[in-house]
Every structure is written in structure tokens, then in C-alpha cells.
Chain A
């Protein structure tokens, strides 16, 4: 008997089938489809990078343990069992490394008319990035 878990990550909400909401595990296929990582003999791999991981701890009867996976990726994982939803945050290590590189992280946001604009569209010009809110 499987339950659908909503996994919030990277600005998305993916539906994943899990056997146990208290200890969610996902299939290798779901791992690749949702997070872009693959489990290989050398560890968790994406593009040209692999992260060492204790595969005995990661791989169980129901699939790949999401909490072990989050720990390996240094990403926070918090959940609400009642509503079968979990939120996988960004790694502080990745965010810090990106900011310390001084390359301004690119993003895309809509204007008031719904037209999308990316920071990278303005390359070649000085940009003043102002974050404001009317709360």
C-alpha cells in the first residue's frame, strides 16, 4: 500500500509514491526525475559530480531513504505527516558557496504584465537589485 507524498523542492511540488510516510523512501527513478541525482557504485551522482554515501544506510526495501538522501546532500528536510507533504530546502553549503563565488545567482521573475525577466538578460550593464515588500 503506497501513499502519495508531495515533495516541495527547488520551487516545485512533485508527487512521489512512498510506502511509509514516517520514513519516506523513493525509487531510483523518482530520484532522477525529481532531483536529478542517480545512485551509482561511486555514490550519488549528478552531471560530473558524485557524493560519497553509505549505500547500506541509504538503500532499503522500499527504496532510497529520503532522510539519508537529504543528509548526504546537506539539504534540510522537514515534513508534515498529517498532510503527506515534505519540504526539501537548499543546502546552506551550496548557497554559501554560490554567494562566495560572487557570481550573482540568476533568477527569473514576472513583471506586472506577466512578462518574464531574468537577471542574466541585463549582462553588460550595471544592475541595482532591490528587494522590497509591501508585506
Chain B
């Protein structure tokens, strides 16, 4: 699903209308404010918008607005996913050492893709809740590259 939808972290939320059309593209929003202190994301505005859309009280985004918000995958993003697929396969076949350089290459190609970087940690013997993730979070803060990317009309 991250490949099909160009998702680079979780949570990622997409609104899809009755005709199967994307009514609001990839947005970072939690279901509650449990992680607000860590992520800076306030779920209340998104939930308020969502409820209004579901009840028919407010429209979703227009097609032009959806396209303007979309961050479409690049060639490097797709090469990173191919490297990740290869590394994952090698890991599952018991070749963890050989998988490592493919995981590293995937991270080089798409450093912003947390589904690859954090998603591969358990397979690599790293703790996705520990120091390995903390390093990514600190570098993200220092380089002003957001880990979570809410739509610009979000709070």
C-alpha cells in the first residue's frame, strides 16, 4: 500500500469518496492526541473536518486542490522501494548481512521515507522505538525535514 499510494510514514490517512476517488490525499493525522507531545500533530482539526465530510456538512477538497497537495513519487523513491523489496527478501531468506547494503542504499535514495527506514529496523535487529529511531528524529529536526507531513491546510 505505501508503494501504491506513495506513503512515506504512518499514520497516513486518505479520504476516498463513494465513487472510489481520492477526496483528500495523504495526510498525517492520528486518531487521538496521545502522541501530540512527540509529533506536534493535533488530531482534533482533522477529526472535525472528517466528521463534517462524512455527515455531508462540508465538502472534501476539489480535484485541483487534491492534485496540488499530492507529493508524487520520484524515480529515486521507486528505486528505494525496489532496494527495500530486495533487502526484505534477502532478510527473509536468512541473508541478513547481505541485505544490509540494500537497506542502506534504500535509505540513501529516499532518506525521507520512514516506512523504509523505520519499517526495516526490526528485521535488522534494531529497535524502532529506541536509539536508531531517535537518531532519525534528531537528524530530521536538525535538517528541518519533517517526519510527519500533514497537509498544509491542517493545523
Q: In whole angstroms, what is the CA distance A126 to B15 when docked?
A: 8
Q: Which residues of B contact A131 (CB under 8 A)?
A: 1-2, 5, 7, 10-13
Among the listed A6, A99, A106, A133, which residue makes an inter-chain contact with B10, where contact means beta carbons less than 8 Å apart? A133
Among the listed B4, B82, B93, which residue makes an inter-chain contact with A78, where contact means beta carbons less than 8 Å apart? B82
Interface residues of A in 77-114 (CB under 8 A from B): 77-80, 82-83, 85-92, 95-96, 98-100, 102-107, 109
Interface of B is mostly: mixed
Q: Which residues of B contact A91 (CB under 8 A)?
A: 78
Q: Which residues of B contact A127 (CB under 8 A)?
A: 15-16
Among the listed B6, B25, B75, B98, which residue makes an inter-chain contact with A83, where contact means beta carbons less than 8 Å apart? B98
Interface of A is mostly: mixed
Among the listed A88, A98, A103, A107, which residue makes an inter-chain contact with B21, where contact means beta carbons less than 8 Å apart? A103
Q: In whole angstroms, what is the CA distance A133 to B129 when docked?
A: 12
**Does B17 lie within 8 Å of A126, measured CB to CB?**
yes
Asked whether any CB of chain A lies closer than 8 Å to the CB of B128, the reply is yes
Asked whether any CB of chain A lies closer than 8 Å to the CB of B32, the reply is no
**Does B4 lie within 8 Å of A95, measured CB to CB?**
yes
Q: Which residues of B contact A16 (CB under 8 A)?
A: none
Q: Which residues of B contact A (CB under 8 A)?
A: 1-7, 10-23, 25, 31, 50, 53-54, 63, 66-67, 70, 72-75, 77-79, 81-83, 85-86, 89-90, 93, 95, 98, 102, 105, 115, 118-119, 121-122, 128-129
A-B contact pairs, 17 of them (CB 8 A): A8-B86, A13-B89, A80-B90, A83-B90, A83-B93, A85-B89, A87-B86, A89-B82, A90-B3, A95-B73, A102-B21, A102-B63, A102-B66, A109-B1, A126-B17, A131-B5, A135-B129
Q: Which residues of A contact B (CB under 8 A)?
A: 6, 8, 13, 74-80, 82-83, 85-92, 95-96, 98-100, 102-107, 109, 119-120, 123-133, 135
